[in-house]
Amino acid sequence: MRSHPILGLLLLFACDDSTRRESLNEGAVCIEGSADDALAIRVAFPICLSSSCSEVIEQGCAIERAGGEIRIDSRLVAETHGGSCSDDCLMVSVLCSLADVPAGEYTVVHGEQSVTLRLPAAPGKLFEWSENGTSC
């Protein structure tokens, strides 16, 4: 009997129970602190992970200021392995900061969301991710 290489590849991938999930510029965004011309932002990603079988592959965020705009870019890549995972829900967040931000009014942009913010500002939520109620 002759083996088929494509059939072998299909069987190999059928046995892989891994699921990769990615969040790019999504989630809740909160101000952690705004003092001494510095801004600290937390992004809470809208992905629920299991403590028993999920793994964060990559996470991070970056902030840049150009004139009156502050742009936040964030990314999370996670994989879930195996068929029976615990039923818990671990939320992943990342903290990023920007130095030398003078007091004033800015448009803060994260993905498709934007809001006007006056700095310095008290800690609080800028954006909430409404699909699943993710908050910081």
Q: pLDDT tens across 8-58, in order?
A: 333 333 345 789 999 999 999 999 988 888 899 999 999 989 999 999 999
The two three-digit tokens of residue 21, written as one number:
């999930």
pTM assigned to the model: 0.79
Contacts of 67 (CB under 8 A, 6+ apart): none
Angle at 77 between CA 73 and CA 83, to 5 degrees: 155
- Least trusted range by pLDDT, from 9-18, 54-63, 69-78, 92-101: 9-18
